[in-house]
Structure 1
Amino acid sequence: MSGNANPFEPPAGGLSLYLHVPFCERKCPYCAFESKVPSEGEKDLWLEMVERELHWWEARIGRPSLATCYIGGGTPTVLSGPEWARLAEMLESHFTFDADAEVTVEANPNSLSADHLLFWREWRTTRVSIGVQSFDDAELAQLGRLHTAARACEAISASLASGFSVNADFMFGLPGQTFRNWARTLSQAAASGIAHISLYQLTIEPGTEWGSMPEDELSDGYLPYRWAQWYLPLKGFGQYEIANFAKYGHESRHNINYWKEGDYLGIGPGASGHIKGWRYKNISGLSRYSGSLKKGASAIASGERLKGSRRASEAAVLALRMKQGIEMEAFAQKYGSDEESRIIKLLEAFPEDLYSVSGNRISLTPKGMRVANRI
């Protein structure tokens, strides 16, 4: 486990949990996440190993209370009703939940069922995040998605009717994507009744089916993202982070905890976590992940505790993802005045229209968010 047996302290409160379901119905050609189509018995094996990993953590940090819980993937809706019941029972036995805990589950339109929604409502789920990606059937087919635009609409409507706050993910910068199609997708999303929209530009990742695609085959992402920044606020969706827009009060508390360097456990193959300044990554691959846990060892592949300028830089990068940016006085108190000065000088090297200084706070402008990777 990269040195010390226990290089972290039990969290004092406000803990988040990310639980990774490493299965999907079909691997999308652009997907670089830890996921695969499950073979016979693999879902049972995964559940057994998650239970072992939770026991391992409980022996070290006790049974903490969760402020947020996010069950993602992969595709969590490949789990059956009995498998969901078993998973929820595990979580209830290893954690308590804050009274107002935010509990999010990812879903794909093709595999989301009435049984899923009924179980989640009877358990403690508050949010459903649906991987729509597009409301254009040709784009969905190009992306290798199994659902149609009509099925995505049905999934959104059913989730809303079940009483959940709903997020939908959409992708831009697709090969051949027209501005008209993008505008139509966002217009339909804004009118669908959902409270949160996440936008992601297609990137070509090594090791994926599309890994060898030339970058120049992708459409330009600047214009569709800029248009979204203008259009979505008109429809009541405020941009609170580079990729995220929400109606007031529906921001993702779980993701905000990431960006504020909060504590979170990562459970499952390939999951990442962060406890008291120590971050770690789990073993990838169900076989190797389970092999370690079966031996009584941890699932952790590597970990490090960032210090000094590296930790301050990471904190600044994460904070600048959010509209509120960096509160410099608090930053200086936590990381030192020298680090505060260094970050300010780095930002001042960029054009003034990319960042804004308001009182004691520095943040990216909308234009700055459009070129955030460069910053």
Structure 2
Amino acid sequence: MSQSLEEITVIAPHFKRRLSGVTSTVIQLIPEQRRQGLGILTFGPGLPGHLPKMRWAQLPGLWKRPKAASDRVWHARRNNEMLAGLILRDVCRMPLKLLFTSAAQRNHSRYTRWLISKMDAVVATNAKSGSFLKVPHTVIRHGVDLELFHPADGMDTDLPEDLHGRLLVGCFGRVRHQKGTDLFVRAMIELLPQNPQWTAVICGRITPEHSGFADQLRADIARAGLTDRIRFLGEVGDIKPWYRHLALYVAPSRNEGFGLTPLEAMASGTAVVASDAGAYAEMIVEGETGAVVPAGDYDRLRDAISDFLVPEKAKLAGRKGRDHVVESFGLQHEARALGNVYDSLIQQRMVATHE
């Protein structure tokens, strides 16, 4: 659906077709921003049809200022989106303020640093990401939709019949070395024989370039005689019920940008064991909502998982995790904080026009 630009003060470009962590963030965040009264549209491919979009034919409309402000904010999250914003603002002379959200936890390339230096404002999704920025920035942590991600209410009926009555430990995300899927499988091969009430599930897409990696994991599982207890479910249509089915969620990534899955799991009332990749360590209350271990440290990961294969301990951590996310990571907090940044950018322009 399209909408008049007259009331729109923020454009959120999305220049990637495949699902990613950024995509998940945008899908959850924009409806909350609109509920809070913000005039915002997405722009580009790869997002579901229910999100409000600006059509390509409306792009020239950005030359006209919105009704209630002298600028619009172009909120980029990728290099190509920053570049597009620069072209629109500096070449086409459209009245735009450029905002970039950075989640990367690495030294940026010279090109990326140049792009960032041209932004009017920069947001980091966590303190660690902010430490790699060379410009002033605001830390605004991602939130999670507490209505979409919630504890089991007794109404979830889509669990496969052969998994009913089992305690489930899960690992979600693309199946690849970066995500640490091999560390999870190795831990399950070692721990499940001593914990017969537990079954492991792996949800996530296997791309062609990582099919050999996945095949090796399946072969390791078969040699251990655990094919029926370590299950590859592929890319599921709706991941939300699967969080509610779990008693324990494991996020063993070797590196991440921000990483929403531990928040989604805790919001669903599920205990979490995670590496310290991305912002995971800033989400989890050690020993209460779960555990954090050094990224890539197999022994520490296995031992932390083992600690939470005690059903009552996992259940208690899941309850505390839900309370923690409600208090500190509700999506409305992120939307309000970003709204303050948008307002400051627009206000700067409005003050300048009256001088």
TM range (shorter): 0.3 to 0.5
Q: TM-score when scaled to structure 2?
A: 0.33
